Structure 1
Amino acid sequence: MDTSVLTDSLKLFALLPFPEIDPVAFSLGPIAVHWYGLAYVVGILCGWYYARQIARRDHLWPHDRSPITAAHLDDFMVWVAVGIVLGGRLGYILFYDFAAIAQNPIRAIEIWNGGMSFHGGFVGAILAIILFSRRNGIPVLSMLDTIAAVVPFGLLFGRLANFVNGELWGRLSDAPWAVVFPTGGPFARHPSQLYEAGLEGLLLLVVLAMLVFWAKALKRPGFIAGAFGVGYALSRIFVEFFREPDVQLGYLAFGWLTMGMLLSLPMVAVGIWLMARARVSPSS
């Protein structure tokens, strides 16, 4: 064996072990409450509260009047939860697990054997926003901006939950912070879930907050939504270079292109278009 390969292998074995965190946060009798489920709940609740704080500040909006009320946001929680869950599951089926489900359709409802796709949940949330906004007489772009500003909460907690579950880990690495995941073989890997939590969650949340409260970007309907699309997509594409591709798909082309990258490219294009077309309101 090449000595350099052996040395690298030993270095990989010597890095951080995966912290022993029980995926079950707590149990209520026979009901086990998982961290992943809690992440969805906490992300939605934090987003709901933050959206209410944005909506109640009239000076942030065109004509110095918010088109969204607290009651709107209360009602929308059900709509967006359904959109995210259905869209996320359907997106995973179509983009990541279609071949297996085509052979065994019952697998589509076996959620314990599958996952959720962010891009599918994103589409589901957008459809929920469009339908809800039109039904309640809210400008679609303003509602889209509000939700885009709070989505990073869900991404932050969701990626942290992925780490706790030891899933969606990264590629082999000898970095000092690399982790040996229980389901990732004997070698250390990039904790790509934490990279995503930091970039798609925390950093994007701060950048969008600066645009909302300092740059008054809500006065340009569509700008915040566009900034979110570009910010998320570029973060995801970057992290995909460190994240292990889904085993059933592997690399799609060139030895590095992944499904996550491919699905993020349209978000960059649409995001740039939304930001470019956004105009300052005459009364802002």
Structure 2
Amino acid sequence: MEYFEWNVSPILLSLGGFSIHWYGALFAAAILSGFGVMNRIYKHENKSIETLESLQIYMVIGIVIGARLGHCLFYDPVYYFSNPLKILAINEGGLASHGGGIGAILATLYYAKKNTINFIYLLDRLAIPTALFAFFVRMGNLMNSEILGIQTDVPWAIVFSRVDLIPRHPAQLYEAIAYLSIFIVLSLVYIFKNEKIKAGFLFGLFLSLIFTARIAVEFVKERQASYSEGIIFSTGQMLSVPFLLLGLALIILSFYKKEEFKV
């Protein structure tokens, strides 16, 4: 069977000794699009947008630091504990979305406290652009030919020829499509039902959908942590379970809580 071959260079543009990588460009697009979505939300709710720039800065710092530490601690702790200076070598690659999520939540908490804004209110709104952010990141992984799927013979299998000649599940695309779909769902819920839902629902729905998708796609991914070999569930799946349970808990609380969450 003939399979689609993916051999795209990770470099988008080279000028002399300066190169722009697809991943960096898509990461920047994720930040800008997220900021644009939050800008529209704030304007729609007649909120001041003056502090949005600082929120963006806190979020980027929280995501990058959290994602890097998450990769080091969750996926290869033995190596990084033996070579602690390598934790700083972010240019060598290695970011974990679960760590990035924790970093983003902590950054949001700091911003909320500093600007006297309800924390849960912010999480509900940030859930929408975060789903879009995740879409761009997975497209960046596709351009880098990383986060590979397992070998398969399905008709839509892709050969990542920069890596090997094995037809694989396009796991990056599965996740990207899922996250873009979740962004659309959250946007529609916000547009048509926002006045009827209580605090915590949107963020809970985001966590539930995102990490259900993550757990499902992990079944067709190559294992990223060597210590998870031989275990039924991958590291990504085990890390996703607490987020999924938190999401379900927030949805349930949003139905039974008579007052808004005060955090």
Instruction: Please confirm whether the aligned pair reaches a TM-score higher than 0.5, indicating the same fold.
Output: yes
> Which residue of structure 2 aligns with residue 7 of structure 1?
none
- Tell me how far apart the structure 2 counterparts of residues 69 and 128 of structure 1 sit (CA, whole Å): 19
Q: Measured at CA, do residues 261 and 281 of structure 1 come closer, stay the same or move farther in structure 2, by a change above 3 Å?
A: same
> Which residue of structure 2 aligns with residue 236 of structure 1?
214
Partner deviation per Cα, 1:119-167 (whole Å, 9 max, x = no partner): 0000000000001001101000011111111101211111111111111
CA drift of 1:28 comes to: 4.1
- Tell me how far apart the structure 2 counterparts of residues 123 and 247 of structure 1 sit (CA, whole Å): 19
Work out whether 1:226 is the aligned partner of 2:204.
Answer: yes
Partner deviation per Cα, 1:87-122 (whole Å, 9 max, x = no partner): 000000000121111222222122243310000000
- Tell me how far apart the structure 1 counterparts of residues 83 and 259 of structure 2 sit (CA, whole Å): 53
CA drift of 1:34 comes to: 0.6
- Tell me how far apart the structure 1 counterparts of residues 93 and 40 of structure 2 sit (CA, whole Å): 35
Give structure 1 stretches of 5+ with no counterpart.
1-10, 59-65
Q: Measured at CA, do residues 37 and 217 of structure 1 come closer, stay the same or move farther in structure 2, by a change above 3 Å?
A: farther
After TM superposition, the score normalised by the length of structure 2 is 0.92
CA drift of 1:74 comes to: 1.9
Residue of structure 1 aligned with 2:32, choices 42, 45, 51? 45
Root-mean-square deviation (CA), in Å?
Answer: 1.8
Q: Measured at CA, do residues 252 and 263 of structure 1 come closer, stay the same or move farther in structure 2, by a change above 3 Å?
A: farther
One-letter amino acid of the structure 2 residue matched with residue 16 of structure 1 = F
> Which residue of structure 2 aligns with residue 85 of structure 1?
64
- Tell me how far apart the structure 2 counterparts of residues 167 and 112 of structure 1 sit (CA, whole Å): 15
One-letter amino acid of the structure 1 residue matched with residue 39 of structure 2 = R
Residue of structure 1 aligned with 2:249, choices 273, 276, 283? 273
> Which residue of structure 2 aligns with residue 26 of structure 1?
13
- Tell me how far apart the structure 1 counterparts of residues 184 and 38 of structure 2 sit (CA, whole Å): 14
Work out whether 1:195 is the aligned partner of 2:182.
Answer: no
230-239 or 182-191, larger mean C-alpha shift: 182-191
SS in 2 for 1:204: helix
Q: Measured at CA, do residues 78 and 183 of structure 1 come closer, stay the same or move farther in structure 2, by a change above 3 Å?
A: same
SS in 2 for 1:71: coil
Work out whether 1:74 is the aligned partner of 2:53.
Answer: yes
Q: Which has the larger radius of gyration?
A: 1
- Tell me how far apart the structure 2 counterparts of residues 111 and 183 of structure 1 sit (CA, whole Å): 22
CA drift of 1:248 comes to: 2.6
218-227 or 262-271, larger mean C-alpha shift: 218-227
One-letter amino acid of the structure 2 residue matched with residue 17 of structure 1 = E
Q: Measured at CA, do residues 240 and 218 of structure 1 come closer, stay the same or move farther in structure 2, by a change above 3 Å?
A: farther
- Tell me how far apart the structure 2 counterparts of residues 182 and 98 of structure 1 sit (CA, whole Å): 30
> Which residue of structure 2 aligns with residue 175 of structure 1?
154
Give structure 2 stretches of 5+ with no counterpart.
none
CA drift of 1:72 comes to: 2.1
Residue of structure 2 aligned with 1:208, choices 161, 164, 186? 186
Aligned length: 258
The 5 Å alignment of 1:67-216 reads 68-199=47-178, 201-216=179-194
Work out whether 1:16 is the aligned partner of 2:10.
Answer: no
SS in 2 for 1:168: coil
Q: Measured at CA, do residues 97 and 212 of structure 1 come closer, stay the same or move farther in structure 2, by a change above 3 Å?
A: same
CA contact (8 A) 1:252 1:259 kept: no
SS in 2 for 1:142: helix
> Which residue of structure 2 aligns with residue 8 of structure 1?
none
CA drift of 1:236 comes to: 0.2
One-letter amino acid of the structure 1 residue matched with residue 245 of structure 2 = A
Partner deviation per Cα, 1:250-284 (whole Å, 9 max, x = no partner): 43623xx10110011001111111112224769xx
Partner deviation per Cα, 1:213-232 (whole Å, 9 max, x = no partner): 11116851111111110011
CA contact (8 A) 2:207 2:243 kept: yes
CA contact (8 A) 2:75 2:225 kept: no
After TM superposition, the score normalised by the length of structure 1 is 0.85
> Which residue of structure 2 aligns with residue 245 of structure 1?
223
- Tell me how far apart the structure 2 counterparts of residues 25 and 165 of structure 1 sit (CA, whole Å): 11
SS in 2 for 1:169: coil
Q: Measured at CA, do residues 43 and 224 of structure 1 come closer, stay the same or move farther in structure 2, by a change above 3 Å?
A: same
